[in-house]
A and B are shown apart, each in its own frame.
Chain A
């Protein structure tokens, strides 16, 4: 067996009492407070300066807590959130098209295939409106109508327009807003920033999180940092697939090291494969570029009806084109949710209808939109995306259809957290993409920026103080505590050992190999046989990594290969758990498509009877332990997810 199940342990989700609409207020009404003059006695470490980390840091500092933030980039402004393009969802009902908090809650829950907690998802929708107010007040230049009112568009998986956007650079603008709020608190001396610092381990004293060990990436110096609470806001680990839409440095190390110290990982195999990315064009590639999903508002997706059709797209007449999404899902058409759109593309590509030099893409065609709306309108909506497409591919998409392909994108899984965003380790919190929360088995477009911001601006600033207040007077934590010393020694030893292997392959070689295994066997579709092959292959790869890695051995000073090696060490272990997680879930739900569980026409078969739970993985000496958090659908009825 690859895992065992612990059915006695029941995760405490700490969902507040009351009706769905009252739960968050009930929590706030009962939360313990710390008086303003005592807050500066507490120190909080936040790892990550993306939307979640920076917003949490700024908000806690405004309240009066002392905060240290860490990021591996040279400036907090460069966290990966900066790359998000399409938009952020919020329930404002500005369009009067029937949107409501409940509808947003329901869309999100259904989008996630009923594999998320109702209470969390409702709170996400409930807090969403304030985020837009906050961002506008900070100067985020969201798109406006000529009248001066905010504008909206729609995204995959919903039938209303609730997505706010700032050209194709929504993540950048939101992040700059929160980065500026962060910098304002640096000026006020409430926040200390540690840029170019990588957290390498979590330190527990008597089972409670009390600090971290970090490496200064410029000097190689290993340092100890103490705190009354630690927050991980380290983003997603989709880069585990090597080719992904994520930034080069994205990693799962911080959450994985916390997992090894006892924090549960939840549903690690739920990875969103995004349907609208640029296809791979060669083996040298370091990443795949995402084209915002908003393009699906006006672009029509098709492939040639005949297999291996080598004609140019303009030479293929209408009746020989297969608009497969519009045909299969008439009510959502090209706006079908990401998992469905990605799978449908892969299915067509695998069946021999793929286009482009490597036959690995489908067309995203603006011909009709250009004819109906004119080039100026399309350029206004998506101009920068068309420019980007041309820069990368050398092709002008106003003249011929774009070629797109699915790519690994977003981690729905992550550290398990309760309603208060606390992990099962007291004093350790996880926010944003680093936790598993709110998206279920599939994330709807534009909900992630929202979750990152809402976690950081509104939820953590209420729940973390509640924890601090409960844990009594702030105690001074000693950097010389044996727990810190021992942890530092272990971290140093590991780095030295990596440097000593002196084999014959680079870190990137191992990362690429791992990516291929995962993409092939634990990607868009999975099955038992493939997953078992993958687990064995990853174990072999891990063994050869420790024999055959070659990196420059100096651990002082700047050493990017050493940084990457540390991340790949963790990826090899996370990859194995991803496959085990996928193996244990004998159903298809959202991004998790087990080929054994599908209908005759290829739709997912979910199994609520047996799998209506969040998988929480606990590290143990032998095989990983599966602990189930059962999901209770008190206010909704899980239905079959149909977008037809």
Chain B
């Protein structure tokens, strides 16, 4: 397969960026999107041009480090699929593909397609945990938790922190990310005690960092590679207002 690529290039956050055109040839449909970019980068490097910077690590859809805006969608055209798990068979031969970074005020661009998502860590630092020290934990089976409860908590806990929710939201809201953590911990008996304080701290932090408010458009749920439900946002808002 052959493709025309239009890729956002920006030397660093402080300088202006622009879309640049590239072409790749002989791409196997079984190649992942990032492997296609790897190949382009090898060619750029050999021809003395600077390769395109983008993030990735596990390439198994679980570390949350990758994330590109592809043809106007976070992580590309396939639902519930992170960029590293997107394969070229999802595109048409000869297609022009537009590739841009995740854009949001609190995610400044570092270079090309790489953005700084440390704001998500800041939200967790503000309270996204259960306060238990090492070595004090009671016997695990003393806390009975129904299988359904654990599964529901798990659905929220499976957020990979990629930031697609922020990037696909017109308000650049981090509500889905924040709500997922709040909901994961609050549904479990271990996390219930701190629930109110945790919610207040995390929501306030999110605002302070410049993420927008949620206006319920639902784009985040559609683009989330883990399929995390926006119902967690309602749960978060309810807890916050209580």
| Interface positions of A (Cβ within 8 A of B) | 55, 58-59, 62, 73-78, 80, 82-83, 92, 94, 130, 132-139, 141-150, 166-167, 169, 172-173, 176, 179-181, 183-184, 186-187, 193, 195, 218, 247-249, 281-282, 284-287, 289-290, 388, 391-394, 457-458, 461, 504-506, 508-509, 550-552, 557-558, 560-561
Contacts and interface: CB of A to CB of B under 8 A. Distances in A.
A140 to B, nearest CB: 8
Contacts, number: 210
B208 interface: no
Nearest to A507: B45
Contact of A558 (B111, B120, B130, B139): B111
Interface string B74-101: 0000000100010101000000000000
Contacts of B62: 82-83, 169, 172
Given A80-B57, A281-B30, A289-B60, A139 B128 contact: no
Given A176-B157, A394-B87, A82 B133 contact: no
A561 B118 CA distance: 23
Interface string B1-33: 000000000001000000000000000101110
**Smallest CB-CB A-B distances: 4 pairs:** A148-B144, A180-B129, A137-B137, A133-B137
Given A58-B134, A139-B184, A285 B65 contact: no
B210 interface: no
Contacts of B129: 138, 180-181, 183-184
Nearest to B128: A180
A166 B140 contact: no
A149 B139 CA distance: 11
A192 to B, nearest CB: 12
Contacts of A558: 53, 110-111, 114
Contacts of B116: 74
Contact of B121 (A75, A148, A287, A509): A75
B63 A78 contact: yes
Contact of A506 (B12, B45, B153): B45
A176 B153 CA distance: 13
Given A75-B121, A561-B45, A173 B157 contact: yes
Contact of B64 (A78, A180, A508): A78
Contacts of B12: 557
B237 interface: no
A218 B111 CA distance: 9
B218 interface: no
Contacts of B124: 77, 179-180, 183
Q: Which of B62, B137, B141, B191 has the most CB of A within 10 A?
A: B62
A287 B62 CA distance: 14
Contact of B57 (A62, A150, A247): A247
A141 B55 contact: no
A136 B63 contact: no
A329 B236 CA distance: 53
Nearest to A505: B46
Contacts of B207: none
B44 to A, nearest CB: 9
B224 interface: no
B240 interface: no
Interface in B148-194: 150-151, 153-154, 157-158, 160-161, 184-185, 188, 190-191
Contacts of A80: 57-58, 63
Contacts of B135: 59, 130, 134, 457-458
Nearest to A59: B134
A289 B118 CA distance: 28
Contact of A78 (B65, B114, B184): B65
Interface of B: 12, 28, 30-32, 34-35, 38-39, 42, 45-46, 50-51, 53, 55-65, 81, 85, 87, 89, 110-111, 114, 116-118, 120-121, 124-141, 143-147, 150-151, 153-154, 157-158, 160-161, 184-185, 188, 190-191
Pick the most buried of A80, A195, A504, A560: most chain B CB atoms within 10 A of its CB. A560
Given A134-B135, A144-B146, A285 B121 contact: no
Given A136-B143, A504-B46, A557-B12, A77 B128 contact: no
A97 to B, nearest CB: 16
Contact of B130 (A138, A179, A552): A138
Contact of B117 (A75, A145, A166, A248): A75
B118 A139 contact: no
22 contacts: A55-B134, A62-B134, A77-B121, A77-B124, A82-B62, A134-B135, A139-B130, A139-B157, A139-B190, A144-B147, A144-B150, A148-B147, A150-B141, A172-B158, A181-B132, A183-B128, A247-B57, A388-B60, A458-B135, A508-B38, A552-B45, A552-B51
Contact of B161 (A58, A77, A83, A135): A77
A494 to B, nearest CB: 20
Contacts of B151: 141
A169 B225 CA distance: 15
Contacts of A73: 57, 63, 65
B164 to A, nearest CB: 15
Nearest to B148: A146
A74 B111 CA distance: 14
B38 A286 contact: yes
Contacts of B60: 83, 289-290, 388
Contacts of B144: 147-149
A244 to B, nearest CB: 11
Contact of A74 (B58, B59, B65): B65
Contacts of B130: 137-139, 180
Contact of A183 (B125, B145, B184): B125
Contacts of B118: 74-75, 195
A508 B125 contact: no
A292 to B, nearest CB: 11
B139 to A, nearest CB: 6
A282 B26 CA distance: 12
Nearest to B28: A282
B39 A133 contact: no
A635 B146 CA distance: 41
B144 to A, nearest CB: 3
Contacts of A509: 42
A505 B42 CA distance: 9
A148 B146 contact: yes
B42 A506 contact: yes
Contacts of A551: 45
B147 A248 contact: no
Contacts of B34: 286
Given A137-B136, A218-B110, A286-B32, 10 more contacts: A74-B116, A75-B161, A80-B57, A144-B150, A148-B144, A172-B158, A180-B129, A247-B63, A284-B39, A393-B30
Nearest to B112: A558
A66 to B, nearest CB: 17
B232 to A, nearest CB: 15
A388 B61 contact: yes
B45 A550 contact: yes
A284 B35 contact: yes
A193 B125 CA distance: 11
B85 A391 contact: yes
Contacts of B131: 184
A506 B150 contact: no
A550 B87 CA distance: 28
A508 B42 contact: yes
Given A172-B158, A285-B35, A133 B50 contact: no
Contacts of A457: 134-135
Nearest to A391: B85
Contacts of A134: 132, 134-135, 137
Contact of B139 (A133, A176, A391): A133
B28 A132 contact: no
A285 B87 CA distance: 12
